[in-house]
Chain A
Amino acid sequence: AQSVAQPEDQVNVAEGNPLTVKCTYSVSGNPYLFWYVQYPNRGLQFLLKYITGDNLVKGSYGFEAEFNKSQTSFHLKKPSALVSDSASYFCAVKEGSSNTGKLIFGQGTTLQVKP
């Protein structure tokens, strides 16, 4: 079965420290991978995507993600966390065989950045 896993429900980091939010996937074919962020009481916002090419993808607000095919992972990273990065983060992957482009979402990870 095709799936996305975010193994951590919550990640806590201190402001200024690097952060990582983990995501692993299982799909057939080449994966199309996404990260979205959800601030409190808001809809999801697109951060970045990987379709093909360079394994390190840069996105909005200083975030980046590293695609690792052998480990089937797409971890979200930021070199220096800000308090304003506190939000929920969702990894998503296009269902490999889907010609409708259907996305499978992970369950989300809440990031808390403390001053």
Chain B
Amino acid sequence: EAQVTQNPRYLITVTGKKLTVTCSQNMNHEYMSWYRQDPGLGLRQIYYSMNVEVTDKGDVPEGYKVSRKEKRNFPLILESPSPNQTSLYFCASSLLPSGYNEQFFGPGTRLTVL
């Protein structure tokens, strides 16, 4: 089954404790993105990757890092989480850049930073 998986689905952590949210897709897509969803703000892009070892900042990259060492995986890293990073996070992938065709989204990771 074609899918995007994220882990963990739920995470409660404390300020400053490094964490990684994993994302994996099995569709051989080149383009992957991370978004955060906050009430009243819709989805905002954090980082995106157009291929292995090619990543770039989205609209709200501060406090986040990503890597793309393999085509299927695109982990999101919070080196020192803060409460304003409490949010719902989605990973997405697509065959072409997101503005040209359908994106496939993961189920989401709800992060709470205390």
Contacts and interface: CB of A to CB of B under 8 A. Distances in A.
Contacts of A26: none
A95 B99 contact: yes
B4 interface: yes
Contacts of A4: 42
Interface of A: 4, 9, 32, 36, 41-46, 49, 51, 90, 92-95, 98, 100-103, 105-108
Contacts of B42: 4, 90, 105-108
Contacts of A32: 99-100
Interface in B75-114: 90, 92, 96-108
A43 B45 contact: no
A46 B99 contact: no
- For A95, A101, A108, which residue has the most chain B Cβ atoms within 10 angstroms? A101
B90 A44 contact: yes
A50 to B, nearest CB: 12
In order of increasing CB-CB distance, the 9 nearest A-B pairs are A101-B97, A94-B99, A43-B105, A101-B99, A46-B102, A105-B42, A107-B42, A105-B43, A44-B105
A107 B107 CA distance: 19
B44 A105 contact: yes
Interface string B39-66: 0111111001010000010100000000
